[in-house]
């Protein structure tokens, strides 16, 4: 189907003709009117795009000139060279408190006791354990495999039947050794929970199956004063 070519100046005559023309020609004339308007929009869009491209080129030239001027200023000014060693200073470990006289006197007595217990903190949760105990963590520890040996160095309390050593908040890790062996991972049975909403007949079933890491306290030793490094 071909459409007649109509100038934009004749749009008023087209509208008059549409009111009086038969129905079979009204559709064709309306389409031609739309084509005339779309052609005008195309020409206006072309002019807008050319103007935008011109502004973009001016901005690029301005940015290039500004960067070149700043580089010249930096090269001319006396800027000290970048030193990576100064940016990354060595880590400074916190100073450990000196042993008190009571600890020096009672630590050997605590070490010769037959059995000891320890309150160890793992991810900020306390566990009261002894050598040989099995601990089931309430989560799956990432990055460990069965057979790995972990050193537990967050002890809040170490004691026996007659003596107790408490930390503020933790005991110095050089006074004792507590190691745990990763036994494996244990999983609980599958849980099913039904969730509903008000005024909604749809019931959503949620499944969950958590996994936990199993540890075994392999070693618990209290060092003597000779083994402790001088503070």
List, run by run, the mean pLDDT of 10-residue segments along the chain (231 residues): 50 50 56 54 54 64 60 52 55 60 88 94 95 95 95 95 92 93 95 95 95 96 81 50
**What pLDDT does residue 99 have?**
77
Same domain, 110 and 188: yes
Same domain, 218 and 111: yes
C-alpha distance from residue 3 to each of 35, 50, 56 (Å):
9, 30, 39
Decide: 190 and 153 in contact? Cβ < 8 Å.
no
Same domain, 200 and 130: yes
Same domain, 108 and 216: yes
The structure tokens 């075994």 sit at 216
Q: How many domains does the chain have?
A: 2
| Inside any domain, residue 24 | yes
Same domain, 217 and 107: yes
Cα 62 to the center of its chain, rounded Å? 39
Same domain, 57 and 124: no
Distance, CA of 17 to CA of 4 (rounded, Å): 14
| Inside any domain, residue 167 | yes
**What pLDDT does residue 198 have?**
93
Same domain, 182 and 122: yes
**What pLDDT does residue 64 have?**
63
Q: Which domain holds residue 37?
A: 8-69
**What pLDDT does residue 40 have?**
46
| Inside any domain, residue 213 | yes
Same domain, 56 and 154: no
- pTM of the shown model: 0.54
**What pLDDT does residue 221 have?**
93
Same domain, 137 and 60: no
| Inside any domain, residue 48 | yes
Q: Rounded to 5 degrees, what angle do the CA atoms 212, 215, 219 make?
A: 170
């Amino acid at each position: 189907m071909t459409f007649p070519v109509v100038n934009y100046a004749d749009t008023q005559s087209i509208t008059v003709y549409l009111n009086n023309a038969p129905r079979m020609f009204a559709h064709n004339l309306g389409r031609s009117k739309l084509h005339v308007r779309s052609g005008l929009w195309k020409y206006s869009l072309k002019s807008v795009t050319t103007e935008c491209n011109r502004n973009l080129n001016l901005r690029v030239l301005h940015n290039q000139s500004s960067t070149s001027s700043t580089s010249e200023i930096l090269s001319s000014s006396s800027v000290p060279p970048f030193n990576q060693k100064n940016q990354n200073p060595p880590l400074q470990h916190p100073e450990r408190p000196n042993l008190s006289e009571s600890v020096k006197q009672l630590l050997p007595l605590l070490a010769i006791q037959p059995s000891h217990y320890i309150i160890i903190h793992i991810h900020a949760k306390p566990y009261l354990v002894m050598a040989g105990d099995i601990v089931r963590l309430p989560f799956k520890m990432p990055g460990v495999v069965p057979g790995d040996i972990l050193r537990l160095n967050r002890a809040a309390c170490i004691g026996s039947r007659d003596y107790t050593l408490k930390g503020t908040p933790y005991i110095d890790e050089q006074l004792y050794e507590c190691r745990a062996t990763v036994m494996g991972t244990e999983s609980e049975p599958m849980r099913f929970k039904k969730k509903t909403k008000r005024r909604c007949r749809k019931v959503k079933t949620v499944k969950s199956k958590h996994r936990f890491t199993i540890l075994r306290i392999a070693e618990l030793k209290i060092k003597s004063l000779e083994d402790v490094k001088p503070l």
